[in-house]
Amino acid sequence: MDIVHTVAELRARLKKEACIGFVPTMGSLHPGHLELMRIARDQVDKIAGANGCIVVSIFVNRLQFGPNEDFGKYPRTLADDCEKCRAAGVDVVFAPDESEMYPEPQTYVVEPLEIQHILEGAVRPGHYRGVATVVLKLFNMVQPHVAVFGKKDYQQCRVLDNMVRQLNLPVEMLLAETVRADDGLALSSRNGYLTATERAEAPQLNAALREIVVELRSGNRDYMALEAKAQATLSVRGWRPDYITIRRQLDLLPPIVGDRALVVLAAARIGATRLIDNLEVSL
């Protein structure tokens, strides 16, 4: 496995690769990321046989963090991450520093318009501009045939999938199911912030989503009441929900009569940690 830090090194390394599968990350890798790498490998193997090349980028992107968010304390574990990538059969780790990624102020950005202002975007203004901009830059640097993202960041998947389609980027997007701990907690680098007591409570976020899904499957369409009940249940347990909401999978807008492909999304704080989760439901 090669570890490269500059765009020039990356381009030289990838020049002769026939098929590139790409997993962009911010590091602090967990089994959810390893699953994305496995999916990337499967797909490039299908396209190019044994000639596929898997690239993982590791870069904590300041542009997608708000001024009061956890950019400073976000875990940076490059040596450990590289070991995990090596064990997962990754071919190239691209770990640029900030001056390589942003050698000058980034005055050209990707604005995802409406979708960047709802849900996560309403709570984290500018977040999806930062995500879309860095992913477009990474795509231009790596020039992958296939890119894999996890559905745990559901709105991010929508934003990036739309970007690829609307800007005609030559990348096949694969969206992977969320990997969970046995108790249902979605794996996330931010789970490491949880105290033992908070970790024991954390699966309740997923439990609240599952309860809504059961109700939807049994025919309940009173979306507002379902959302309010879940918010109240979590609040009583000490959570501070930002939102728990039932949306259309297509555009994350509130469902209208007849919509059958839905997703229940939640973001809530437990202690100092903000967790997100979602469940798709097809009725």
Q: How far is the CB of 27 from ligand PAF (least distance, A)?
A: 8
Residue 219, SS3?
coil
| Binding of residue 265 to ligand PAF (CB under 6 A) | no
Q: Provide the mask over 80-119, with x wherever binding to ligand PAF is found by CB under 6 A and - wherever it is not.
A: ----------------------------------------
- Taking CB under 6 A as the criterion, the residue among 90, 134, 171, 279 binding ligand PAF is 134
Q: Name the amino acid, one letter, at 269.
A: R
- Taking CB under 6 A as the criterion, the residue among 14, 118, 135, 209 binding ligand PAF is 135
Q: Name the amino acid, one letter, at 74.
A: Y
Nearer to ligand PAF, 64 or 116 (CB): 64
Q: Which of 5, 30, 33, 127 is catalytic?
A: 33
| Binding of residue 24 to ligand PAF (CB under 6 A) | yes
Please count the residues of this chain forming the interface with ligand PAF, following the rule CB under 6 A. Answer: 10
2 touches 91 (CB < 8 A): yes
Location of structure tokens 């009940």: 229
The whole-angstrom separation of Cα 237 and Cα 246 is 21
> How many other C-beta atoms lie within 10 A of the C-beta of residue 17?
21
Location of structure tokens 């001024």: 67
Distance from the Cα of residue 35 to its chain's centroid: 13
The whole-angstrom separation of Cα 165 and Cα 186 is 28
Residue 33 annotated as catalytic: yes
Please report, for residues 109, 183, 211, 224, 278, the alpha-carbon distance to residue 207 in angstroms, rounded to integers and kept in the order given.
37, 9, 6, 18, 11
Nearer to ligand PAF, 77 or 233 (CB): 77
Q: Which residues contact 228 (CB under 8 A, 6 or more apart)?
A: none
Q: How far is the CB of 64 from ligand PAF (least distance, A)?
A: 6
**Segment lying near ligand PAF (by CB under 6 A), choices 22-30, 69-77, 96-104, 203-211:** 22-30
| Binding of residue 136 to ligand PAF (CB under 6 A) | no
Nearer to ligand PAF, 101 or 185 (CB): 101
Could you list the active site residues? 33
Residues binding ligand PAF (CB under 6 A)? 24-26, 61, 64, 131, 134-135, 153, 156
